[in-house]
Amino acid sequence: MPIEEVATSTEGFYDVPRARIYISDKLTGDDWEFEPHLYLKRLRLAASPEVDSAEIEWDYARLTHPDDPEEVITENPFEGLQKFLKVQIEDTVDPGRNPITWYGVVEVDQRDVQGSTRDPTGRQTFIAWGLARLLERVTVDRSLVDYVDDEGGTHEVEIGVGLPFNVRERGFMVPDRGNRMHREAIESDGYLFADTADRSEEWNAEQAVEYLLENFPPKNLDGDTLIECVLHSHGEHLLDWYDITVPTDRRTVKDLLDEIINRRRGVGYWCDFDTDTLIVNVFSFLDKELELAAATASTERKVIGANEEQRRLNFERSFDIESAIVRNLSTTVYDVIHVEGERKTATATLDFADVERDRTTLEDVRKLGKYQFVPDWETAQETKYLKAGVADADYAGLDLVQKTERNAYIRSQDALAHVYARFKVHRDWNQHLDDPNIPFIRYSVFRKNDDETDPDTQWVWGLRIFPTTVFRQGVDYSGSKIADGLPEAASFVGPDGVKTERPFLPMILAVPIDSLEGTKWVNGERLNATASYEDGGGRWALSVRALHHAPVINISVTGGPQHFIALDQFSDPTSTLGVTSVGDVDERDNPETNHGLNFTAFKLTLSFEAQGYVTETVELDRKDAPRTRQKRELFIKLHDARADYVVPQTIVAIENGGQVVSESGGYVRDDRPRMKAIAKAASQWYGTERQTLALRFKQIRDFVHVGDLIVDVGETYNRQDVKTTVTAVSYDFSGDVPMTELETSYADLDFS
């Protein structure tokens, strides 16, 4: 992009310009009245969130004016409040340039009252604010919805609240946030809010700003539009690269523009007026385009645009410079950029084992690392469960019905509720899973990266189990579909035509049963619906839930006693626990007659939340920096970035009596490429020093504007690379010599 070189004057003589002030009751039209004796003291043009301002003076007394000393007149106080003001300043050095022209509205009348023995005497100072002030007085109290009726006719409907731009923050459970109509409005310009979810898309910042300016212009006392408002971007891809979540109800348009067009996105704006239109001018703080994401087959390249108005200041030989202060800031420099998302997850199918029963040899002890879910109850508690009322003194004298009643009561008390129900991940679990089909193939459940030889070993007791898995209902994850790349599956269109989010599946408890057709696998939670037996089917089922404080689950038997899933333990307790007499049960509670199961044959697919965050890191080249300097690390949090890994051979469904597995495993959601791009972009932004410039010179010149980017100052022998954007220009007429002052600033980009 071409960089214009500008310099203040180096000529020997130059004139001081005069500011002309005009007043009118109307902003548009030709009713501007020149007031030769209103004097400009100061004019400040500023970028958002500041508002431009002008300070004007008027003397009232019995006096003569400098331009007419032959007449003594009485000037009364000037009634300027709420009038529109126009200021014009000619460029006396380059008369070919357009004059500086500024519009505002007078809101403050400050009087330095000096007495009025004969004629009122004093000095008035008026403060006028720029036209952004008009937007500060427009409140969003309604929304315009693009409504399509049953016949396909379109209407604009107004509702009495300000709807938010995009419904919710981005996050794990929320696929669809957009509430913008998918096509432009028929009756007006730009987009409106959508009437139904299936016609909606997400708002980006540009669309939201256009909606506000089109539909919420300032109005006059009769309710008519005072001036039209439009958006003008000085550059490409300034507002279309990021989406937003912004509530609007009962907020002012200025407040919303300040939030949407924000320096942390690398953009700002200033307001301008042309004939009858207020123009919101958007500019970039970047000197070069910054790529956030490369183009893919399904997505476009994402960039933040560069500033189109770049200037190289050259005032090395100018007399009129009062001061030029360049500040170099290393406070915004970092050496390492980490982009962090949510906690990593891993989804796998784990087995169950009864360690006490299985351990017979030292070899078995060594194999402990393989054990996954193991009982979370004590042997003494299990013994008490099995024996139940046998130890009671009067037990022998009870009949069978009484005995079974007594035993059922004891077994159902809270102290024993976890026996045969609560299972924990073994503390020595080696965090690997063997391939069931291929010997010696082993998969790491937790991964630092895509290198299988570099597992991310967790502290087992610190793991947490999600209440659901990462699988969505209705999506096929079998075979190699995860590795091949799943289609967009976050929502579906229901029978009512409304787009609905696909729910996440709960944990999958795979249970083998001996059915009429031989050994089958069923989902434990639908045991009573899917199992088929000679006697017509089971009457009980299972429910699984995860506990919050540890990697522990609870499998509850519904419709029967808990020992229905401890068939071997209940039928043969002697071999391990030495329990010779088990409390009696009747047929209803006997696992042998109720298709009891062994929990050691269960398999559970669940999703773990690991102890680390999804992170992408970029380290900048600092090999030339002194090694004794502190390393500065920046952490950028991306709240919706996830990496959800599925271990190969994980059971993803139970269908037709068999297990459906993901043979390849892979990532059902992997935001790491996006995070890497953001880390790379952030490293470009935060890897270099930033500068600010404060320049004051003894002229009134218009060659640098708010929003321009200064790329350097000085000539070759005193060059300073400055990449800083002008955020305020002040014209000061208060001293002997009028001055121009430039202030610049930089953006603290937030890439989230």
Partner 1 sequence: MGLYQLGTFDFISIHGAYDRAQPPNIPRETVIPVIRAGVDGVGFIRAGVHSEPFQMRSVVDLASPSQVRTLIAGYRELVGKEAQTLIWGDLDYSTAFSTKYVVLDVQMLAVRLLSAACGGKNSGNVLAEAIWTLQPVPINLDPPEA
Give the dihedral sign, CA 195/197/201/204. positive
Q: At a CB cut-off of 8 Å and minimum separation 6, what does 306 contact? A: 1, 235, 284, 286, 287, 288, 289, 290
What minimum distance in Å lies between the beta carbon of 732 and partner 1?
14
State the distance between the two ends of the chain, measured CA to CA, in whole angstroms: 28
Of the pair 6, 321, the CB lying nearest partner 1 is at: 321
- Decide whether 625 or 737 has the Cβ nearer to partner 1: 737
Nearest to 173 by CA among 504, 610, 464: 504
How far apart are CB 36 and partner 1 at their closest, in Å?
4
Q: CB of 335 within 8 A of CB of 356?
A: no
- The contacts of residue 211 (CB under 8 Å, 6+ apart) are 144, 190, 191, 192, 203
The count of chain residues that interact with partner 1, using the rule CB under 8 A, is: 30
Q: Binding residue for partner 1 (CB under 8 A) from 36, 115, 467, 485?
A: 36
Give the list of residues 6+ apart from residue 631 with CB closer than 8 angstroms, or none: 335, 336
CB of 44 to partner 1, least distance (A): 22
Closest CB 315 distance from partner 1, rounded Å? 9
In the region spanning residues 661 to 690, those forming contacts with partner 1, defined by CB under 8 A, are none
72: contact with partner 1 by CB under 8 A: yes
Enumerate residues 580-619 that contact partner 1 by CB under 8 A. Answer: none
Q: Does 735 bind partner 1 (CB under 8 A)?
A: no
How many other C-beta atoms can be found within 10 angstroms of the C-beta atom of residue 225?
11
Name residue 696's beta-bridge partners. 323, 741
- Would you count residue 11 as binding partner 1 (CB under 8 A)? yes
Cβ-based nearer residue to partner 1, 73 or 81: 73
Q: Does residue 12 bind partner 1 (CB under 8 A)?
A: yes
- Cβ atoms of 289 and 690 within 8 Å: the answer is no
Nearer to partner 1, 119 or 364 (CB): 119
Complex with partner 1: residue 30 or 484, whichever CB lies closer: 30
Q: Which 296-335 residues touch partner 1, going by CB under 8 A?
A: 316-321
Interaction residues for partner 1, span 698-717 (CB under 8 A): 698
Q: Is residue 115 within the footprint of partner 1 (CB under 8 A)?
A: no
Q: How far is the CB of 450 from partner 1 (least distance, A)?
A: 58
Single residue of 3, 14, 202, 228 touching partner 1 by CB under 8 A: 14
Cβ–Cβ under 8 Å, residues 447 and 456: yes
580: which 2 tokens?
A: 């010779």
Q: Please tell me whether residue 64 binds partner 1 under the rule CB under 8 A.
A: yes
In terms of CB distance, is 160 or 735 closer to partner 1?
Answer: 735
Q: Rounded CA gap, 89 and 688, in Å?
A: 38
| Burial class of 691 by CB neighbour count within 10 A (0 to 12, 13 to 18, 19+) | buried
C-alpha to C-alpha distances, 96 to 89, 92, 241, 313, 698, nearest whole angstrom: 13, 9, 39, 20, 20
Sign of CA dihedral 310, 315, 319, 323: positive
- Cβ at position 149, least distance to partner 1 in Å: 56
- CB closer to partner 1, 117 vs 628: 117
Any contact of residue 20 with partner 1 (CB under 8 A)? Answer: yes
720 binds partner 1 (CB under 8 A): no
CB of 113 to partner 1, least distance (A): 20
At its nearest, how many Å lie between partner 1 and the CB of residue 277? 24
Q: Indicate whether 39 belongs to the interface with partner 1 (CB under 8 A).
A: no
Report the interhelical angle of 205-215 vs 253-260 (nearest 10°). 170
Q: Is 696 in the site for partner 1 (CB under 8 A)?
A: no
Decide: is 34 part of the binding site for partner 1 (CB under 8 A).
yes
Q: Which amino acid is at 310?
A: Q
Q: Write the interaction track for partner 1 spanning residues 198-217; mark x where CB under 8 A is met and - where it is not.
A: --------------------
Does 16 interact with partner 1 (rule: CB under 8 A)? yes
- Of the pair 12, 518, the CB lying nearest partner 1 is at 12
Using CB under 8 A, which of 81, 113, 174, 737 touches partner 1? 737
Among 58-66, 160-168, 273-281, 395-403, the segment contacting partner 1 (CB under 8 A): 58-66
Least gap, CB of 83 to partner 1 (angstroms): 17
Closer residue to partner 1 in complex, CB, 16/329 = 16
Tracing tokens 């009364």 back to the chain, one arrives at: 76
Q: What is the 3-state secondary structure (H, E, C) of 550-608?
A: CCEEEEEEECCCHHHHEHHHHHCCHHHHCCCCCCCCCHHHCHHHCCCCEHHHCEEEEEE
Token pair, residue 51, equals: 């508002």
CB of 459 or CB of 717, closer to partner 1: 717
Question: One symbol per residue from 94 to 113: x for binding partner 1 (CB under 8 A), - otherwise; what is it?
Answer: --------------------
Contacts of 729 (CB under 8 A, 6+ apart): 44, 45, 46, 704, 705, 706, 740, 741, 742, 743
Q: Is 1 in the site for partner 1 (CB under 8 A)?
A: no
* Piece of the chain touching partner 1 by CB under 8 A; list 9-17, 124-132, 144-152, 304-312: 9-17
Q: How far is the CB of 54 from partner 1 (least distance, A)?
A: 18
Is 30 a binding residue for partner 1 by CB under 8 A? The answer is: no
Toward partner 1, which CB reaches closer, 599 or 733?
A: 733
Residue 709 near residue 311 (C-beta atoms within 8 A): yes
- Regarding 15 and contact with partner 1 (CB under 8 A), the answer is yes
CB 401 within 8 A of CB 586: yes
Shortest reach from residue 84's CB to partner 1, in Å = 16
Give whichever of 67 and 150 is closer to partner 1, judged by the CB atom.
Answer: 67
When binding is defined by CB under 8 A, the residue of 67, 149, 363, 484 that contacts partner 1 is 67
Which class for 708: exposed (0-12), middle (13-18), buried (19 or more C-beta within 10 A)? buried
Query: Shortest gap between Cβ of 7 and partner 1 (angstroms)?
Result: 12
Q: Which is nearer to partner 1, 20 or 254 (CB)?
A: 20
Strand blocks (E) in 332-384: 336-351, 373-375
Stretch that binds partner 1, among 15-23, 169-177, 651-659, 668-676 (CB under 8 A): 15-23
Considering the complex, what minimum distance in angstroms separates the CB of residue 87 from partner 1?
A: 13
Among candidate residues 728, 722, 691, the one with its CA nearest the CA of residue 706: 728
Q: Residue 650 has which token pair?
A: 């994980």
Beta strands in 392-539 (DSSP E): 422-425, 432-434, 442-444, 464-465, 468-472, 491-493, 499-501, 504-506, 508-515, 518-523
186 near partner 1, judged by CB under 8 A = no
Cα 345 versus chain centre, distance: 20
Mark residue 497 as left, alpha or beta (left: phi above 0; alpha: psi -120 to 50; beta: remaining): left
Which segment (10-18, 270-278, 478-486, 682-690) binds partner 1 by CB under 8 A? 10-18
The nearer residue to partner 1, 18 or 142, going by C-beta atoms, is: 18
Q: Which is nearer to partner 1, 11 or 454 (CB)?
A: 11
Site stretch for partner 1 (CB under 8 A), options 6-14, 52-60, 575-583, 596-604: 6-14
Phi, psi of 571 (to 5 degrees): -80, -25
Using rule CB under 8 A, residue 57 touches partner 1:
no
Integer Cα distance of 458 and 281 in angstroms: 52
Segment lying near partner 1 (by CB under 8 A), choices 69-77, 420-428, 453-461, 604-612: 69-77
Binding stretches for partner 1 (CB under 8 A): 10-16, 18, 20, 22, 34, 36, 62, 64, 66-72, 316-321, 698, 736-737
